[in-house]
Amino acid sequence: MMTSLFDQFMSPTFIGIPLIALATTIPWLAWPTPSTRWLNYRLLTLQGWFINQFTHHLFTPMKLGGHKWAVILTSLLLFLISLNMMGLIPYTFTPTTQLSVNLGLAVHYDLPTVLIGLRNRPAIALGHLLPEGTPTPLIPILIIIETISLFIRPLALGVRLTANLTAGHLLIQLTATATFVLLPLLPAAAALTMVLMYLLTVLEIAVAMIQAYVFVLLLSLYLQENV
């Protein structure tokens, strides 16, 4: 039995063994795999259309050097959507509500974009630390600020994803608890809170997909700056 609203975000364990690795592996089984048939079934066709639309919108404005990341970023999008959506199933665990998981993803995907920029275009990459036309007295301060913002960038990616998913799960739990408490006392109020809970669930499904897309979109913009 949960004693706190935040107990649902604790990493589950079995005989002292953390199950977060299992929770991040199982969602991959939900995606259909291509078959050897000439005609694919509807779900696989829909998945192919979604991936094609995503790669088209994401990589059309990017130079050819960034197209090498198409498989990596598309896989990351599907991975995040899977984790976010599977976490909406009752009695399941959402790994993307853990800040450590999201920070690990953000750092490992953001750091290579910075290193690519320093390797391919070091002058332009370092030039981002100092805008053109900066007054001389402000040069040291701006360099420090831009350097700090560069290091904060993966932190912002991880915190954004964690905060949005955590807030949605908490709202759903609060409305579900209110419905359960009001049902024997005020059935009409309980019905209203139940409708609100269903609306929040639909909203959370949209948030789960949008936040995964925003995470990958921002990574692609960082990549576009350095390619």
Residue 198: pLDDT over 70: yes
Pairing of strands 17-18, 13-14: antiparallel
What pLDDT, on the 0 to 100 scale, is given for residue 14?
A: 65
Q: pTM for this one? A: 0.82
Top-confidence range, 27-36, 88-97, 148-157: 148-157
pLDDT in tens, 5-59: 666 666 666 666 677 777 777 777 777 676 677 767 777 788 888 888 888 888 8
Which range is least confidently modeled, 5-19, 48-62, 66-80, 95-109?
A: 5-19
Q: State how far the Cα of 120 lies from the Cα of 122, in Å rounded to an integer.
A: 6
Q: State how far the Cα of 136 lies from the Cα of 46, in Å rounded to an integer.
A: 56
Confidence of residue 211 (pLDDT cuts 50, 70, 90): very high
Neighbour tally for 4: CB within 10 Å: 8
Q: What's the token pair of residue 91?
A: 């009695």
Q: Which residues have a Cβ under 8 Å from the Cβ of 168 and sit 6 or more positions away?
A: 200, 203, 204, 207, 208
Q: State how far the Cα of 124 lies from the Cα of 131, in Å rounded to an integer.
A: 11
